[in-house]
Structure 1
Amino acid sequence: MSDDILIENENLAVAVSPLGAETRSITSRDGREWLWDGDPAFWTGRAPVLFPIVGKAPDNRVTIDGMAFPMQQHGFARKSEFTLEESAASSCRFVLAPTADTRMAYPFEFSLSITHALAGATLTVTAEVANRDDRAMPFGFGFHPAFRWPMPGLNKGHVHHITLDNRAEPAMIRLRDGLLDPTPLASPFADGVLALDHDYFEEDAMIFPEGAGDRLSLSAEDGPSLHFRFENLPNLALWTKPGAPYICVEPWHGMAAAHGKGPALEDRPFTRTLAPGESARFGWSVAIDG
């Protein structure tokens, strides 16, 4: 496996791995690390890219045009080696093209590019999915970055909040046996604000299919704030393992298969389908304040 690529500017240094084009580190110039470090005692991920599905499939398989294919949770991109195509002081772009292994799980010609770029104290991660095939191509896509909770320099006594810029109170759903239970539950947000508590995650992820908007903040009482923006990613999930020192802020376009609905890829909630030659862009950014 190739070495990480380092991009930096006067505010931030960011490491990106060719494996999965995954963000591996986000460090301020004062030495504070904002991203989760992948401690295997809890979870080895840091910021995986989810493609061509988000979440699980029944029995770890999907069907495409009636044919069955093996598909692990969150797809294969996160465990695939990307090719570095562009690299500059403050940006880099990795690309994944089909291989014999990907075609065994996902029989399409595609291109997936992931670009990391710095501007001031903001990191922007952009993805472009292109259909290089001669038929329609269904897929799901998402980002899964994990940030330190509590934030660097703070302790567990500091209350952390998620605040939606639109001040909404979106309905929540949960997973059942790893698949979506579509039953809407009462929103844990009040006027767009959620005080994080590990007890929320005893039942796995908190999923908000719609209504969370495209901007939110993760902030600490008497501490710093992280300001997020999302592009073309209508679904939001929050997740951690109970007691683990990280919180995942996950914007998606696509979700796990609904419980009892079968393995068809095109039937998964929020699946995107590209016509031959078409492409779609997705992105998230985080601005560090404090």
Structure 2
Amino acid sequence: MEPGNQTDVHRGFILLGLSDDPDLQSLLFCLFLIMYLVTILGNLLIILAVISDSHLHTPMYFFLSQLSFTDICISTCTVPKMLLNIQTRTRSITYVSCLAQIGSVLTLGAFENFLLAAMAYDRYVAICHPLRYAAIMNPRLCGLLVGVSLILSLGDALLHTLMVLPLAFCSDRDIPHFFCEFSQVIKLACSDTLSNNILFYLMTCIFGGIPVSGILFSYTQIISSVLKIPSAGGKLKVFATCGPHILVVFLFYGTAFGVYITSSVIDSPGKTAVASVMYIIVPQMMNPFIYSLRNKDMKGALRKLASRTVS
């Protein structure tokens, strides 16, 4: 393939989406519109419930509201553009919009990693050091954890995005995905991308490895403390407290790992794009249900919010 010149690059890219079948486009539009609306509504309700109920003004629910906001942003960065392309029967995305998608998804994905680690640490302190919980998990530390995580995530995404700018792209501008996924965009470059790939895998190991290590450490300590509890009721109470977060962690990392395995085993970009729905859309939609259905405090706050809205 011949490298495209600067004009060709700024014409943008073509998002091939999930299917070429014209008969499936209406079904896909309705399906993903419903999923997007459920994601926005569910996470927005979580945020409003946390804000409106003073009983939920705790570190755990502070991190949960940040997670819900992040889920809204991730979905909004990818799904509306896909819906617009289906509706208008076009598949194009501008060069600037593609870079914006890359930067946004990388930032929010890394930030969600850190949030899940912070939530695991919060549970660790609450269960293993209950008497010191209020002193350790003070508002200043919570704000610092969120602020530092966001700055690091923005820095990581900005670095990757800036390293895409000097690349020369080939005449083939087709991205076999429903959004500008970083690795798929890099594959279209005609210039050397070794440094981009090395940096990407290095930062993925760091920004993925550190939060995962923190989560594993926290739950190792939690399990060790739970085993020392003599009563079965006490153990169940602890697991009920940690249950929603454990489910969210498994959903987030399990789907991402599943997509990685799928892309390695199945040499089909189209199937990889379909599998990517499982980590870029499904977890964001399911998180509110996991926390609201398995949490009495959240159920109570949502009931109060509903009653206030009705009255």
| TM-score with structure 1 setting the length | 0.26
Tell me which protein shows more strand as a share of its residues. Answer: 1
Tell me which protein shows more helix as a share of its residues. Answer: 2
Rg larger for: 2
Larger relative contact order (Cα-Cα within 8 Å, sequence gap ≥ 6): 2
